Structure formats: structure tokens, C-alpha cells
Amino acid sequence: MNKAVKILLGVAVALFGIFLLLCIATVGIMRANFARGEYPDRRFYSYYWFDPDYSDTHTRENVQFNSGKNTLQGYIYGLENLEDGDPNGLIVFAHGIGAGHESYINQLLWFADRGWVVFAYDATGSCTSEGSGTVGLVQSALDLDAALSFAAQDERFAGLPVCLLGHSWGGYAVCSVQNFDHDLTAACSLSGYAYPMEMLQQGAEYAVGKPLSVVFHPFAWGYNKAMFGSNSDLNAVDGINRSGIPVLVMHGEKDTTVPYEKISVLSKQAQITNPNARFETITGPYATHNSFLSSDAANVYKQEFNAQGQALSDRYDGNIPDNVREEAYANADKPLINEVNEPLLEEIEQFYLDAIGS
């Protein structure tokens, strides 16, 4: 073997080694970023839970269904509206990544109180459901597809108009699931991204900077393809265009988690041909990824509460004793913190009612 061949062989081996290391690194990074989502420690959390905060005044039914190899835990609220004989319809809810449906319990029960049946669930790798991790950005649409198939088999829901509601990971899901065949009446997407690969690329830019993210892109694409196969390109734009149903897309102009001007479903208006799609930019000081779900008064108080928390952190050099933290959360004004953005929910509800009546 002459010298030139040895050099070429050495280069080839080195490049293959680098490629293999990057593949291994990509899998590790993806698994770390799509780890299980868990509910926070209740001692250090100021939002309501169904139990004990609502269990005396509301009922829910626990159900289970499969999504791929995992069993997901579902919850049905507002069944009393079915018993009364005239519910507005069925709302199927998809939550954001990193937690579960109870992070939105105030909003969900607002709809139940106004005559809706609400079917929510914890997605794959989230809270009360099975799964070692949340898998990836497409997974929320596959879980919603499974949830809708399950709901369609429940005779109690027969004839009810089905409306979708989702936030962030779920905001993508309620649009992308329209690529599948389900009998849907309307959908509302809050803070959703349009294309999973765009969102992955954005996350990579945040993590390692734009130059290195370019190197990461083909490996992220390969991971996404390996995880989701023929569904790897599932996106919100195609779903909205395919279904033709009324879709309300809402996004905060100050959202940096799913950047408003680049990644959001709302930013793809020029690609959306569905004449029944409506787009609304949320403005104001609380037009971020999550804050607009709460009332202005709640957001003002949360800023004050967080400032108090920072003062405590400074006092204890960043290591607040658990008992001190627990006391601070116990003394928080929880009714105020849990106030919902009622005008927003009223607008969404009216959108659903208009779609049902059309």
C-alpha cells in the first residue's frame, strides 16, 4: 500500500469516526432535550391542581388509551354536561412539552363550567403517562391522533362537535393532526410551531450558535426521520390546508420560546390557503409564550412574587432552604395567581360556537 493510499484511508477512517461521534452526540442531545416531563414539586408550585383545589366542586373520569407502545392517561371533565343532555361539544386538549394537562387545569375547567365536555391527557413521556421520554417534536401530533381515535370510539361522544385546543407542543399538534382523517369541527392553536425541523434548528441555534447549528442540522434531520419515519415531515401548514375546517391561530408577539416572526404557525400565513383559517397576534406586555393565558392582574402579581423569590435567593446566596421556600409558596395569593385570561377564553369559545353553528 503506497503512502497516498494510506493517507486517504486514514482520512476516511477519521471522517467516519467523527461522523459516528456526531451521531452518538446527537442521540444523547435529543434524549436529554426530550426527556420525561414531570409535574413540579407541589410544595414549590403556586398553581392549582385538580385535587385538592377542584375535586370537591368538579368531577373527572380517568381513562387510558395507547399511543404507539405506550399507554397514555386521559381525563374527561364536564361529564355532567353530557348528563344534562345538551353539551356545547367536546374539546380535546393537547398540552405543551415538559409538563402535563394539569398545568392548564384552570383553563380546562373554565370550559367545563360553561357547558363543554373536555378530554385532556398527559402525552407520551409526560407526568402520569408511560414513556421514558417525550421522543420529539412530532410526537404530540401522534398522541393527539391516538386520543381522537379513542374518543371516536366512545359512544357518549357520538354526534358531538369536536373542537381542538393546544398550546406550544400541543399548538403544533392541533394543526398537524388535521393531516389525518378525523371528524373535526374547529381547532385553536396557541403558541404553536409550524415545522418540527425549523423548531429543532432554532433550538440548536440557541444552544450552540448558528455556525455550529448548521453542522448539527443533518444529524437532527436523521434523528427525526429515524424516530418518526413517514410522519417525520408532519407539519401544521399542510394540516390546516388539508382539513379546511375553521382554525384560529393565536401567538404572542413577544414569544421567544417559539419565535413569533420565524417559527410560529402564525408566521406561515402566506403558505396557508385554508379560507377558514384566522390569525391573531396577541399584543401587550404579557404577549409571551405562556403569560397571556393568565389575567393581567395575575401576571402583575406573579412578577411581584418572583421578585420576592429573587430577594430570598439573594439572601441565601442562591440556596433557599426548603422550609423557607415552602412557606413562601404557602403564603402566595393563589386565587389571584390562578386567574385566567377570561376575554381570551371567551373569544376561543365564541370561535368554536360560530364553527358549530355554521
pLDDT in tens, 85-114: 789 999 999 999 998 999 999 999 999 999
Dist CA 261 CA 236 (whole Å): 16
Please give the share of the chain, as a percent, with pLDDT higher than 90.
Answer: 79
How confident is the model at residue 252, as a pLDDT? 98
Cis-peptide into 218, omega within 30 deg = no
Dist CA 33 CA 19 (whole Å): 21
- Rounded to an integer, the average pLDDT of 214-223 is 76
Does 28 have pLDDT greater than 80? no
Q: How confident is the model at residue 31 (pLDDT cuts 50, 70, 90)?
A: low
Does 16 have pLDDT greater than 60? no
Q: Are 23 and 110 in contact (CB under 8 A)?
A: no
What would the pLDDT profile of 103-161 be if each residue is shown by its tens digit? 999 999 999 999 999 999 999 999 999 999 999 999 999 999 999 999 999 999 999 99
Instruction: Report the chain's mean pLDDT, rounded to a whole number.
Output: 91
Q: Nearest CA to 195 among 143, 145, 248, 138?
A: 138
How confident is the model at residue 203, as a pLDDT? 72
Dist CA 7 CA 133 (whole Å): 43
Dist CA 244 CA 266 (whole Å): 16
How confident is the model at residue 34, as a pLDDT? 78
Q: How confident is the model at residue 221 (pLDDT cuts 50, 70, 90)?
A: confident
Residue 280, SS3 per DSSP: strand
60-64, 232-236, 312-316: which range is least confident on average?
312-316
Does 14 have pLDDT greater than 70? no
Q: How confident is the model at residue 8 (pLDDT cuts 50, 70, 90)?
A: low
What would the pLDDT profile of 167-211 be if each residue is shown by its tens digit? 999 999 999 999 999 999 999 999 999 999 999 888 777 666 666
- Determine the topology of domain 34-195+235-294+342-357 in CATH: Rossmann fold (3.40.50)
Main-chain phi, psi angles of 66, to 5 degrees: -100, 140
How confident is the model at residue 10, as a pLDDT? 59
CA angle 226, 198, 225 (to 5 degrees): 10
Q: How confident is the model at residue 30 (pLDDT cuts 50, 70, 90)?
A: low
Residue with cell 414539586: 41
Residue 161, SS3 per DSSP: coil
Dist CA 355 CA 163 (whole Å): 9
Dist CA 263 CA 191 (whole Å): 10
Q: In what order do the strands lie in the sheet with 162-167?
A: 60-67, 70-77, 117-121, 90-94, 162-167, 186-190, 247-252, 277-282
Q: Nearest CA to 255 among 280, 226, 292?
A: 292
Does 17 have pLDDT greater than 90? no
- Rounded to an integer, the average pLDDT of 66-93 is 94
How confident is the model at residue 220, as a pLDDT? 77
Q: Alpha-carbon torsion 33, 38, 39, 40, what sign?
A: negative
Q: Between β-strands 70-77 and 60-67, what pairing exists: parallel, antiparallel or unpaired? A: antiparallel
Does 49 have pLDDT greater than 90? yes
Q: Are 248 and 186 in contact (CB under 8 A)?
A: yes
Does 42 have pLDDT greater than 60? yes
Does 12 have pLDDT greater than 80? no
Does 237 have pLDDT greater than 60? yes
- Rounded to an integer, the average pLDDT of 316-324 is 92
How confident is the model at residue 93, as a pLDDT? 98
Dist CA 234 CA 218 (whole Å): 17
How confident is the model at residue 145, as a pLDDT? 98
Per residue, what are the HEC states of 121-153? ECCCCECCCCCCECCCCCHHHHHHHHHHHHHHC
DSSP 78: -
Neighbours of 156 (CB within 10 A): 15
